[in-house]
Structure 1
Amino acid sequence: MENKAEIIEKLIKGELKLHQIENYTNNVQEAVDVRREFAEHFSGANLNHISNYSLDLSEAMKRNIENPIGTVQIPVGLAGPLHLNGKYAQGAYYVPLATSEGALVASINRGCSVTREAGGATVRIIDDKMTRAPVIQADSVSEAIKIKEWIERHFIELKEAAESTTSHGRLLKIDPIIVVGRYVYPRFTFTTGDSMGMNMVTIATDKAMDILTRETGAHVLALSSNLCVDKKPSAMNLIEGRGKTVTADITIPREVVEKKLKTTPESIMEVNMAKNLIGSAIAGSMGFNAQYANMIAAIFLATGQDAAHVVEGSLGITTAEVKNGDLHFSVTLPDLPLATIGGGTRLETAHDCLEIMDVAGSGKVNKFAEIVAGTVLAGELSLMGALAAGHLARAHKTLGRG
């Protein structure tokens, strides 16, 4: 290793780039330390807390991070037991939640208590897919239509090309294929197994585009056109779904609503209509719910999911109805990208949190999806109960949220 001070001096002078430090040190850990000390020197900050971690950054650098200087720590709380009657998740689960928002874990925990007393929530996966949508530039509208028709006629060839790149991905359909002027937007829809699959479908779609380019002479302007729709709020994803499409529901006896939530089924139904349905409509919201993003973000951070997909996972619709005097409550999440292998799930802390729910590794993603949906239901139910009872501000004040 070169002298640490000399490396930092080269960085300051611009003679060395951050990603080149590994070439001048004995190992990744030394490079991380030098890079962090440079950040301290440049900023005047003391990065003592960032420097304390147990992750193996040499492994993380292979697929998860560039130019590491340490890690960020987020408190992880435990909610549960969450009782579920799913197809894949059956029984009681404790759910790790990474958050700095006081009252969130307590609120979800209260929802878990209600679901437990009501006999558990029913959860089902409705659909499962991941998408990539390139944009193709033709010479004219008529040529764009010809390309659209070619894609429709040659689905089998495109499917074979796409699937030749992966042992797990399967191309289900190319739909919709939208023509706007001389631009063509085909949406490739895949299943991806236990991985979230964004990289998988990108590589597969690129291979299919090779066939299209060779056979039609079309120009692929960009492999992603925003019709995917990845990491953005979207009416298309709300309607068509992306990732896992999951729904959870529960019928809660009136006496349980009154005892646990301190309100009535009628009050929760009215608040849901006025807030989640009408309020969301007048705001032009893409999601008709109270706080899906809270639960999704906390689970995603704890388990190494792609945090940017919170914007998709927070889409969804909450329903609340009075049924034979009891409360029927449901959450529907049409766009929930999840993984139990690959990506950030490789990180040691993420693996630990997945292990708590017994969803780490292959063959567990559907179980994980049902647990996530059940957690969303518990958190949503608790907040709607607090709003209906007029307890929201009091809970935040008591638990330190200003």
Structure 2
Amino acid sequence: MKLSQFKLTEKRREFLEKKLKIKLSQIKKAHIEDEKNIYGENLIGETTLPLGIVGPVKVKTFKSKIKKYHIPLSTTEGALIASVNRGCKAVNESGSVTVHIKEIGTTRGPVYETKNLGTGFWFIDWIEQNEKEIKEAAEKTSSHLQYLKFEAKVIGPYTYVRFYFKTDEAMGMNMATFATESINQLIKKKTGINCLALSGNFCLDKKPGWLNFLSGRGISLWAETVIKKEVVQSVLKTTAEKIYEVWLAKNMISSALNGSLGFNAHFANIVAAFFAATGQDLAHIVEGSLGITATKILTNGDLYFSIHLPALMLGMVGGGTRLEIKKEAIKITQAKNRHELVEVLGAAVLAGELSLLASLSQGSLAEAHQKLGRK
């Protein structure tokens, strides 16, 4: 008998225990969710990650007043939560984090068989001239989806098209996929051109790439703060000059030297912990690792500190956010919508980035991990 033939999680788990001659008691104990809320096949239970809290941290936008947020982070890395918390303390004692976001759109990038350059460029012209029909074909698939725009490239016998969609409170990859399939049906009917692959890698889904870095994907975020000179010394235990030197050598020069797409210290660390806590698609941590940190010593000795994450793919509904335990973690943030949830993440990333660069400049990284990452 195969695992897929069992209808109940418990029976699959018992079958596997017997076959492998092992006990899965902890996996059984961790299984608390209703199977109806779980998207996953051959289910035998659940695994867990430790959940910690940082903050509150003070955050504001260009349009809103300061709010305080607690931030849930799931990780097995000792010292990470303590480090982000220290960054939050430095921010709070200096003022707040100012966050700005821009909706770029969830993308899907199919590749079409256009045989030659002439047909390829004709096809792009056809899309431009018939964009109203394309919009209608996309938006009929969901009342929560809005077609935004397209970009296209011709390479030999192939034409790559990157469609952008606004997907309301969802991260929206399924919505974008269904909308693009509807567009493809329209294209086939009107032009006879065949879609070779619904995802032709031009969407740059779950992959690092300059297109996502430069054009953005999902939501682009910027955040900044000014850390007072005395707070750099009292909380971060270093100086603005030392942080600047580490930032220049590590984030800028070394990133250029090694060809990195992330001109940052560790965006992925905080993005991964936040995504795991709140039920996001973990593979989109790849896009969350993209970004750049900027810092500058001001004339009064204070430290200006800023981050930019161009491609954040996360949502408030759908996918793993359906799980009750993830819903509770999202509630901790008190975020009322997807944009606010992104703003909370931005504050956490900035705090974590600031604290790590300070630790490196202070020379305390190994000591912190020895103390908090070992038992």
If the length of structure 1 is used for normalisation, what is the TM-score?
A: 0.90
Q: 1:348/1:88 Cα in 2 relative to 1: closer, same or farther (>3 Å)?
A: farther
Equivalent residue, structure 1, for 2:118? 142
Equivalent residue, structure 2, for 1:244? 219
Q: 1:378/1:307 Cα in 2 relative to 1: closer, same or farther (>3 Å)?
A: same
Question: What is the count of residue pairs matched by the alignment?
Answer: 373
Are 2:248 and 1:281 equivalent residues in the alignment?
Answer: no
Are 2:351 and 1:375 equivalent residues in the alignment?
Answer: no
C-alpha distance in 1, partners of 2:33/2:357?
41
Equivalent residue, structure 2, for 1:254? 229
- 1:277-332 deviation line (CA, Å, top 9, x unaligned): 11111111111000111100101001000000001111110111111221000111
Q: How does 1:198-213 map to 2 (within 5 A)?
A: 198-213=173-188
C-alpha distance in 2, partners of 1:128/1:241?
6
The residue type paired with residue 223 of structure 2 is A
1:59 CA drift (Å)? 1.5
Q: 2:3 aligns with which of 18, 29, 33?
A: 18
Equivalent residue, structure 2, for 1:365? 338
Which moves more between the two structures, 144-153 or 291-300?
A: 144-153
SS at match of 2:163: strand
- Which ranges of structure 2 fall in alignment gaps of 5 or more residues? none
Equivalent residue, structure 2, for 1:40? 17
1:55 CA drift (Å)? 2.8
Which moves more between the two structures, 390-399 or 345-354?
A: 390-399
Greater Cα radius of gyration, structure 1 or 2: 1
The residue type paired with residue 286 of structure 2 is V
Checking the alignment, whether the CA contact within 8 Å between 2:31 and 2:46 is kept in structure 1 is no
SS at match of 2:141: coil
Q: 1:132/1:329 Cα in 2 relative to 1: closer, same or farther (>3 Å)?
A: same
SS at match of 1:74: coil
Checking the alignment, whether the CA contact within 8 Å between 2:292 and 2:309 is kept in structure 1 is yes
Stretches (4+) displaced over 6 A: none
Equivalent residue, structure 1, for 2:143? 167
The residue type paired with residue 42 of structure 1 is K
- Which ranges of structure 1 fall in alignment gaps of 5 or more residues? 1-10, 12-16, 23-30
SS at match of 1:136: strand
C-alpha distance in 2, partners of 1:202/1:401?
44
Percent identity among equivalent residues? 45
Equivalent residue, structure 2, for 1:124? 100
1:66 CA drift (Å)? 1.4
Q: How does 1:40-189 map to 2 (within 5 A)?
A: 40-53=17-30, 55-61=32-38, 64-86=39-61, 87=63, 90-175=66-151, 177-189=152-164
Equivalent residue, structure 2, for 1:299? 274
1:88 CA drift (Å)? 6.2
Are 2:327 and 1:327 equivalent residues in the alignment?
Answer: no
Checking the alignment, whether the CA contact within 8 Å between 1:101 and 1:401 is kept in structure 2 is no
1:245 CA drift (Å)? 0.3
SS at match of 1:372: helix
Checking the alignment, whether the CA contact within 8 Å between 2:206 and 2:284 is kept in structure 1 is yes
